[in-house]
Amino acid sequence: MSSSSEGSKGRGMGFLFVFFPEDETAGGGGAPIIRKRAVNALLRRSNSTHLLSTAQSTISICALLIFITLLLFTLSTFEPTAASSHFHPRRQLSTSSSRKVSSSFWRSGSLELWKNLAFQHALQGMGTLYRRGTRAMNDLVVAHAVESLTVHELRLFLRLLFRSGLCSKSDLLLIFPAKSAAFDRAVVEESESFLKLVHGAGDRNSTSFDSAQFKISVKKERESGEPIWGRKRKGNSSEELEGDDSESTRLSYGSVVSFDVDELDPENSLAGFLHQVPMSLRRWACYPMLLGRLRRNFKHFILVDAKELLLLGDPLSRLRSRSPESVHLSTLTTPAPPNHGRKTQPSHQKPVSPAIVMGGSRGVRRLSNAVLTEIVRAAMQHKKKNSINESGLLNQLVGNEFVLKNINLIVSAESIPELSSLTGLNSRTGSSSSTSNLSLVRRGSSNGDVSSSILKYLCSFSLDSAVYSDC
């Protein structure tokens, strides 16, 4: 009995142990299980705490990144109002711009501001746009600046060109050896002075400046279209002109842009043939890219040296009726330079000047390509790589009919007069009569004295003296 009762009791205890495992009244075997469950609960609690802290850290990092992104975006698009007031003169000069540059800014003499300011690009992300013209032009003046060109000489070249009738029918493109804040400032000042001059001459009679040559009919302006330089205007130009049908004429003047040689000839193509490539030779390496890109936009080109020549009128007036293959060259009174052992033109013929080449777009492009090829050929044949002369090479080509067989070459029998040959620069009647029939002159040896006389002559008029800051 006792053994059977003890066995049944043991089975009952085992039954209770299975179905009531959490009973605190159980024996010593339940203690490890309680400790295990406590540890599991503690681990679960720590895991949840770790996940919560990780989520909070992730959210904080994301919020910080969003804040930094918004801050950088705000700073990149922020334009200080105080600085923008000083930057206006360097922006594009428009026809009806109400932002006028104060004379105190021009006379401040500080070039640091000009170095840090940015212009609008002239064409396809390159070049500098100083002034956007009133319409698309058929002619383009390409003026190159040699290394010895001074700011004073550039000012005189621009001032006389802007006042001439050529400026009303053509755009001006300057090629500089390098970026120069002083040159930029001179171009902007002369462009702004010209705008003041052309608007002021319409308000009162001026004996020194003829504003009639800058007038064009509204119908012809509509047919011309917009200039290719810079960004197109947001408004429709035809719609703007329709609102001014009461005006039979409007102002007409060309755009003013510039390029650096490194933009047009980034690899310095002639560097492998010459130790030092002067601007007088490197400019020929810039023309293939430049004139090739603009061949569909302009009918006539003028390639001119801004240091040696001054444009007083419109030398293209007698060439516009000729074929696109025509090229006009001017002669010099000085003897021709050495011809490097090649046969040139006859000795009785005057040498031509490389300072100015003008004519149809097709002929000027072909001649510029031929000159570039001749420079490379001469450099490969000479041991002294710096003995290449631009004038000698051009005169060689003029005497070679086979090379220029696809060009209608016209050599002028009249030599380019020097500026010193003009008389009466100090009198109002003498200067106007002596320069009225001339379209271009050479600066000559007495460059400084004669240039000063011209500037004094222009400053003798009330309108000019009020417009130009150096009067």
The model's confidence at residue 353, banded by pLDDT at 50, 70 and 90, is very high
Q: Are 166 and 315 in contact (CB under 8 A)?
A: yes
Of 84-93, 335-344, 378-387, which one has max mean pLDDT? Answer: 378-387
Distance CA 427, CA 335 (A): 34
Q: Which among 56, 79, 75, 78 has a CA at the least distance from the CA of 67?
A: 75
Residue 344 has pLDDT above 50, yes or no: no
Residues paired with residue 109 on neighbouring β-strands, in sequence order: none
Distance CA 351, CA 334 (A): 8
* Backbone Cα Rg of the chain: 39
Q: Alpha helices, DSSP H only, in 77-150?
A: 81-87, 103-106, 112-116
Range with lowest mean pLDDT among 197-206, 269-278, 371-380: 197-206
Note the pLDDT of residue 430: 37
The model's confidence at residue 24, banded by pLDDT at 50, 70 and 90, is very low
Residue 436 has pLDDT above 80, yes or no: no
Distance CA 93, CA 131 (A): 5
Q: Which among 320, 316, 311 has a CA at the least distance from the CA of 416?
A: 311
CB-neighbour burial class of residue 259 (10 A; exposed 0-12, middle 13-18, buried 19+): buried
Q: What is the mean pLDDT of residues 411-437?
A: 62
Residue 137 has pLDDT above 70, yes or no: yes
Distance CA 381, CA 194 (A): 48
- Higher pLDDT, residue 199 or 27: 199
Range with lowest mean pLDDT among 43-57, 110-124, 231-245: 231-245
CB-neighbour burial class of residue 200 (10 A; exposed 0-12, middle 13-18, buried 19+): middle
- Higher pLDDT, residue 323 or 419: 323
Distance CA 151, CA 351 (A): 30
Note the pLDDT of residue 80: 41
Residue 337 has pLDDT above 70, yes or no: no
H or E segment at 356? Answer: strand 352-360
Helix, strand, coil fractions of the chain, as percent rounded to 5? 50, 15, 35
Q: Which among 370, 216, 157, 411 has a CA at the least distance from the CA of 284?
A: 370
Residue 214 has pLDDT above 70, yes or no: yes
The number of CA neighbours under 13 Å toward the Cβ of 373 is 10
Distance CA 309, CA 417 (A): 10
The DSSP output letter for 170 is E
H or E segment at 374? Answer: helix 361-381
Mean pLDDT of the chain: 77
**% of residues, the chain, pLDDT over 70:** 66
Residue 1 has pLDDT above 50, yes or no: no
Distance CA 135, CA 167 (A): 12
Residue 7 has pLDDT above 70, yes or no: no
The model's confidence at residue 72, banded by pLDDT at 50, 70 and 90, is confident
- Higher pLDDT, residue 400 or 45: 400
Residue 14 has pLDDT above 60, yes or no: no
Distance CA 199, CA 372 (A): 43
Query: Cα–chain-centroid distance for residue 352?
Result: 31
CB-neighbour burial class of residue 119 (10 A; exposed 0-12, middle 13-18, buried 19+): middle
pLDDT digits (tens, 9 = 90+) for 271-320: 988 888 999 999 999 999 999 999 999 999 999 999 999 999 999 988 88
Q: What angle do CA 8, 12, 18 make, to 5 degrees?
A: 145
pTM of the model: 0.73
Distance CA 123, CA 293 (A): 10
Distance CA 375, CA 281 (A): 8
**% of residues, the chain, pLDDT over 90:** 41
Residue 258 has pLDDT above 70, yes or no: yes
Q: Are 412 and 318 in contact (CB under 8 A)?
A: no
Q: Are 314 and 164 in contact (CB under 8 A)?
A: yes
Give the 3-state secondary structure of residue 406. Answer: coil
**Checking DSSP bridges between strand 215-217 and strand 326-331, what pairing results, if any?**
unpaired
pLDDT digits (tens, 9 = 90+) for 262-277: 999 999 999 988 888 9
The model's confidence at residue 150, banded by pLDDT at 50, 70 and 90, is very high
